[in-house]
Amino acid sequence: MGHTRWLNDEEKRAWTAFTTAHALLFRQLEQRLKRDVGLSGLQYEILARLSGAPSREMRMAELAGALVNSKSGLTYQIGQLEKSGLVRRRSCPSDERAVYAVLTDAGMALLQQAAPGHVETVRELLFDALTPDQVRALADGLGEASRRMTEGAAEAG
């Protein structure tokens, strides 16, 4: 076992700020989505990802990876969205193992209803509190951390 590299005071401050801001922001987003349109944050993200995909559809495995969610967890959420008529599944004629999640017109309409409040909350609670330089630093730093974690997961998997 190697030597533990403990966080210094500035790193602790950054870590605490990150985890607290993340929890507070996601709680507010969840509450607003539930109140406004009856969706969870993950369900909103599923609809949003599908809306930006070609033909508004993605392979379930690819969607799970993009959302950093388990395949079984995604399958459950897709089932809930399917019951509501917001998403449908389709199989792939060339690969019987592949299943696609497809955003329906009703799902797109609900997403369009939810999106303004979602974006308003993100802007008000996060971006309005930061300068343009801080936004750029946040995007650069978290983008690099995400890249390293994704790369590490790919190497491990």
The predicted-structure confidence for 57-101, as pLDDT tens digits, reads as follows 999 989 988 888 788 888 999 999 999 999 999 988 777 788 999
Alpha-carbon distance 59 to 89, whole Å?
Answer: 9
pTM assigned to the model = 0.85
What is the pLDDT, as a whole number, of residue 71? 82
pLDDT over 90 percentage in the chain: 76
Q: Is the pLDDT of residue 18 over 70?
A: yes
User: Pseudo-torsion of CA 71, 20, 35, 128, nearest 10°?
Assistant: -110
- Quote the pLDDT of residue 141: 95
What distance, in Å, lies between the first and last C-alpha atoms of the chain?
22
**Pairwise CA distance, residues 52 & 124, whole Å:** 24
Percent of the chain at pLDDT > 70 equals: 96
